[in-house]
Structure 1
Amino acid sequence: MRLPFKFKQLNMSLFVFNLLLAIWMAGFANFRFYQKVAEYSAFHGFYQFLFLCVTFLILTGLYLFILQIISWRRTAKIVAVFLIILTASSSYFVNQLGIDITKEQIQNVMQTDIHEVQDLISVPLFIHFVEFLFIPLILLMCIQIQPKHVLKTIYQKIMVCFITLFITGLGLFSFYGQYAPIFREHREMKGQISPLNIIANGSSYFKKQFKQGNPPLVAYGTDAKFVGQGQPPKIVVLVVGETGRAQSFSLNGYQRPTNPQLSQIDLVNFTAASSCGTQTAVSLPCMFSGMPRKEYDEGLASHREGLLDIAKRAGYEVTWIDNNSGCKGACDRIQHVIIPKDQPQYKQWCDGDGECYDEVLLQSLQNYLKGLDIKSLKANQLIVLHQVGSHGPAYYKRYPKAFETFTPTCATNSIQKCTREQLINTYDNTIVYTDYIVSSVVKQLQALPVASSMMYLSDHGESTGENGMYLHGAPYIIAPKEQTHIPMMLWFSEQWPNKKQYSACLKAKAHDAVSQDYLFPTVLNLLDVKTQVADPNLDLLHRCEGS
């Protein structure tokens, strides 16, 4: 690596180079990790400081041991560039946004789209990259590693590895009584150690993808049949929200008026609903798979038929209308998938970068319904609307100016730099807009002369700075309620069979604990589709039939 201009060359041995790189990786890039170690330890004052120093030495020793094995004179700088890039990337999300790097987060990255990536670009990200990426890379180019006889290099590497293992083992043994309970009770901390977090979880993700390959499609619910013969065709609309948390819905007791429209509609609001995961890549395929959260197998779900396939087999016309980053496999075999942002007729709702407000879903739904010739409707309809909802961190982009109900707002994607008031105001404005979108779907259906119903639920919730956590994607076992408690509601038109019976019964059970596990059997019941794979114990309507 030679620069077009001259810097003073820094000559050093391979050992010193690896040691400095290990110290850098174990240092300030893991600031949040050390914070948590201090918080969970039983020490205070000097002993806490000593405990943190030993933790730093252990982490440095681990990285030095690895580098002594994989880093040689001719490859040292290549390895260093790779590790610096990974450390800079992962440490920003861990330290600035409180996001642990897990296999699920790696999956999120692999399934994201360009608009979601653009929303993450911010001034704090640039500053972080200057400090942890650009400056280290410039310094790297100034370093000249001194040549050394290969036998001496191998001998030195072996000695350093033994010494490193001894010191690391001594540190672990000295404070084993502290480390054991900390890492046993707080396994998520492994996702805070950069760049080990991204390397380990990235390797696990790609290994799993490689093993999975391209398996054949597994048929599911092949016994499904439509049992509503003789009834007029019906329309069922499922609205899948994005990043909407139940705590911010006034329907659930939130003190702010975030649901001015929905509060005027006669619907059933489930106040204790939970998600299958804390990120779209898990929750979306899970809720359509027919597998309960505790039994969810992502590998199987990726190549097995789900809710939409069964509805299609039973004779429904199934339509997916998307204003997000895709259906994560749930609609892969559905022929009628509409992406309105790609169509010129909907550009009034979109900006120059192709990001659209959710009103594009309303317009697309209206156009689709007009094309059905409702008065002589021949086929039952299942329509899924996939919102962009409250997707962060650029919350201010998720609603038009007319829905800026709460001010001042956080008009930036650098949400960690906004005040608590600004951030909550902006997020709450996205909920006000979702309230308008969902209520407008109901109003469109109310105007139809056929039986219709609407079910709304979000894929997962969102953290907005509580306990230093932002966005979502925390491991489910330790995820805060803000990420798992979701809004969920059900509405029936006046023409819906047994509407009064269902409404009265469901409202009496509206505070019972439910989850996305209930989506699969409940929607099939709404569709009058019977199959043995639908668990009646998870069917909201089944609990009210005959009551």
Structure 2
Amino acid sequence: MPNVIKRFQQKLPSISLSQFNFILAIWLGVVLNIGFYQQMQTLTPYTGLKTSLFIAATVVVVVALYNVLMQLLQWRWNVKLLASIFVLVGGFSAYFVNSLGVTITSDQVQNMMQTDIKEVNDLISPNFFIWLTGLVLLPILAIVLIPIRQETVKREVLKKLVNIVLSFTVMGALLFIYFVDYAAIFREHRDLKGMLSPQNTIASTFSYYHKKAPKKNLPLVLYGEDAHLIERTSTGKLPKLMVLVVGETARAESFSLNGYNKNTNPELSQQKIINFNQVSSCGTATAVSVPCMFSGMPRTDYDEQLAGHREGLLDIAQRAGYKVTWMDNNSGCKGTCTRVEKYEFPKALKQKWCDADGECFDEILVDGLKDYIARIPKDDVSPRLIVLHQMGSHGPAYFKRSPKAFQKFKPTCDSNAIQGCSSTELVNSYDNSIVYTDHVLSELMNTLKGTANYQTGLWYLSDHGESTGEHGLYLHGSPYAIAPSQQTHVPMLMWFSPEWQKNNSAQYACLIGQKSQKLSQDNLFPSLLSLLGVQTQVKNEKNDMLQQCAQSAQSRI
């Protein structure tokens, strides 16, 4: 094979190392970053010819910058390897930026590190393979085949210096001319660097390992060691059984409960629920939001490293006397359920609800809950907290998230290459997943209604929202500071059995009074502990929804 390559190379004209580096800089700077330049065009204050000149200047600046980097980094002994890596990394990141409007950040790298094979499969589509072939595999083949001319080290260094000086000169001149424009744009839109491939992935990966990668062998930090039940279960009062449903990728604006013009909540609208319509998430990705909401830290003070090795909400509830169980139909609990019981779905339920790849419809959670409750011994009066982690509306394969019986909105996008679907098809498929979530939640409530040995409650809260083409964005994971409401405005609702309402009437009335107030995932930690009757000094009273009512009542006295 090497001889075949060598014979083929002999038929091609050779180029110098500096020329090779410059050509690669053009490829990286121009071909892979069309989405970046389109975004720059929307932000420029110019119109007509001035806009074209500004974008042309931006292209030249980026190419010149990459030329400097290539001349510095790539030498005869490493050029083919490094060039292939740059094309590989840049090609993959450019696919998500240009096709889905995704901004590559350390959070996105974290999502990639914590994903599973099922989520990866959902991202692979015919469009992806076309992109992979045209902008990754063929360029790498060209890199391997292009012969680089042998020159003396002195001559190579001289050419590199000329390239670097000329590049800096051109960059300096253009940055001087457009300095005010660039300063204004990048000051207000710092996320733009996350659209520039391949530096976005390289820089974000370094940032992830420096700031976000879990540190090994860190000691467990105990938290809420004083946790205890305010009132022990007595003979005359049933123990509590609370189901916390962690939703996936559901956005509040797609719930008809919140005013959406399509009836996506036909079953929940018939249940006696408390719907909270002004709730924001802690992050725009599961890897951030789930650990954050269980950590007890407000979003503005959230420390990811500390959360990774400190006890959280589930540990505290368990210490206070609750039997805590995590039931998962997603890609794991992101470290929040490490020290509590994990429910394993029986084989019969997997055969009923899961496909050959192990991807399951969320009704497996309903049957799982029924199975769990049926196994509770008759004489067991321990209070229980059960966390159900949904597959929900996880994209881009929204068509997989709802059985045909719940695909009420047509036409649909029956592909994971969602950028190729019409807006109507895409939104219909997403809305169908919300209709199915509506059914799952309603069935969970019906299951709890039939649980006679407990006073039961259900709290549903989605981890983050989703973009379906609004503002040119798809999926989620945008930097929080610039994320659209579709990614941060999440649905939240509660349901309580008549027995729970009777025994906690003041709490129930308090919650009803807050259904239109601005809330967030910061409220989960202290408010759920209060609902469970758990007292600890680590509860942040400011974020405790029940404490707000107590303070209001006290202020009126």
Q: Taking structure 2 as the reference length, what is the TM-score of the superposition?
A: 0.95
Structure 2 Cα separation of the partners of residues 339 and 395 of structure 1: 25
Alpha-carbon offset, residue 47 of structure 1: 1.6
State the match for 1:362 in structure 2: 366
1:128 equivalenced with 2:131 (yes/no): yes
1:14 equivalenced with 2:3 (yes/no): no
- In the alignment, which of 87, 112, 115 is matched to residue 115 of structure 2? 112
- For the 8 Å contact 1:2–1:141, the answer to whether it is kept is no
State the match for 2:462 in structure 1: 458
- For the 8 Å contact 1:323–1:339, the answer to whether it is kept is no
- In the alignment, which of 352, 363, 380 is matched to residue 383 of structure 2? 380
Unpaired runs of at least 5, structure 1: none
Correspondence list, 1:51-70, <5 A: 51-70=54-73
- For the 8 Å contact 2:93–2:201, the answer to whether it is kept is yes
Correspondence list, 1:7-406, <5 A: 7=8, 8-208=11-211, 212-229=215-232, 230=234, 231-334=237-340, 336-340=341-345, 343-373=347-377, 375-406=378-409
Structure 1 Cα separation of the partners of residues 3 and 325 of structure 2: 56
Structure 1 residues 211 and 268, CA, compared in 2 at 3 Å: closer, same or farther? closer
- For the 8 Å contact 1:219–1:304, the answer to whether it is kept is yes
Structure 2 Cα separation of the partners of residues 481 and 10 of structure 1: 54
1:142-165: per-residue Cα shift (whole Å, max 9, x none)? 201111111222232233222222
Alpha-carbon offset, residue 135 of structure 1: 1.8
Indicate the RMSD between aligned Cα atoms, in angstroms. Answer: 1.6
Structure 1 residues 344 and 72, CA, compared in 2 at 3 Å: closer, same or farther? farther
Correspondence list, 1:485-504, <5 A: 485-496=489-500, 497-504=502-509
State the match for 1:520 in structure 2: 525
Spell out structure 1 runs of 4+ moving beyond 6 A. Answer: none
> What SS is found at the alignment partner of 2:437?
helix
AA aligned to 1:79 is L
- For the 8 Å contact 1:3–1:141, the answer to whether it is kept is no
State the match for 2:418 in structure 1: 415
Alpha-carbon offset, residue 527 of structure 1: 1.3
Alpha-carbon offset, residue 208 of structure 1: 3.0
- For the 8 Å contact 1:268–1:503, the answer to whether it is kept is no
> What SS is found at the alignment partner of 2:549?
coil
Structure 1 residues 100 and 209, CA, compared in 2 at 3 Å: closer, same or farther? closer
Structure 2 Cα separation of the partners of residues 188 and 77 of structure 1: 31
Structure 1 Cα separation of the partners of residues 120 and 540 of structure 2: 39
Structure 2 Cα separation of the partners of residues 315 and 68 of structure 1: 64
AA aligned to 2:164 is C
Unpaired runs of at least 5, structure 2: none
Structure 1 Cα separation of the partners of residues 173 and 472 of structure 2: 33
AA aligned to 1:531 is T
> What SS is found at the alignment partner of 1:353?
coil
AA aligned to 2:30 is G
Alignment identity in percent?
Answer: 48
AA aligned to 1:503 is Y
> What SS is found at the alignment partner of 1:135?
helix
Structure 2 Cα separation of the partners of residues 470 and 435 of structure 1: 23
User: Between Structure 1 and Structure 2, how many residues are aligned?
Assistant: 544
- For the 8 Å contact 1:54–1:171, the answer to whether it is kept is yes
Alpha-carbon offset, residue 469 of structure 1: 0.5
> What SS is found at the alignment partner of 2:59?
helix
> What SS is found at the alignment partner of 2:191?
helix
- For the 8 Å contact 1:493–1:499, the answer to whether it is kept is no
Alpha-carbon offset, residue 4 of structure 1: 4.2
